[in-house]
């Protein structure tokens, strides 16, 4: 999903769920990254549904370039970018 909304931050334009609570991301600046959400999912009870692989794979991109799941869990693009930087992939 490519959003026509202009933002001062980089946005995710493609997301692919991967093994072990990881996501492959493509950003609007053409950077690719792979991030692991394993720690966030297991440390924060608000993300309990994401512990189920089938539900985790239902991830979608919101109009502002962040990620969300059907029951309301979401992550903003700035946070996801910081995880990408920590992994050394972006």
Q: What is the CATH number of the domain that holds 40?
A: 3.30.2020.10
Q: Which two tokens stand for residue 89?
A: 């992939």
Number of domains in the chain: 1
Which pLDDT score, from 0 to 100, does residue 90 have? Answer: 43
Q: Assess if residue 3 is contained within a domain.
A: no
Q: Which domain holds residue 53?
A: 12-87
Q: Assess if residue 40 is contained within a domain.
A: yes
Q: Assess if residue 63 is contained within a domain.
A: yes
Tens digit of each residue's pLDDT, the chain (90 residues): 555 677 888 999 999 999 999 999 999 999 999 999 999 999 999 999 999 999 999 999 999 999 999 999 999 999 999 998 766 554
Q: Assess if residue 7 is contained within a domain.
A: no
- Are the CB atoms for 31 and 90 separated by under 8 Å? yes
Tell me the whole-structure pTM to 2 decimals.
Answer: 0.85
Q: Assess if residue 6 is contained within a domain.
A: no
């Amino acid at each position: 999903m490519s959003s026509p909304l202009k933002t001062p931050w980089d946005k995710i334009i493609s997301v692919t769920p991967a093994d072990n609570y990881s996501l492959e991301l493509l950003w609007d600046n053409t950077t690719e990254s792979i991030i692991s959400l394993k720690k966030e999912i297991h440390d924060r009870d608000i993300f309990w549904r994401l512990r189920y692989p089938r539900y985790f794979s239902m991830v979608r991109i919101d109009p502002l370039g962040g990620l969300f799941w059907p029951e309301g869990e979401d992550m903003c693009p700035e946070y996801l970018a910081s995880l990408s930087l920590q992994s050394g992939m972006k």
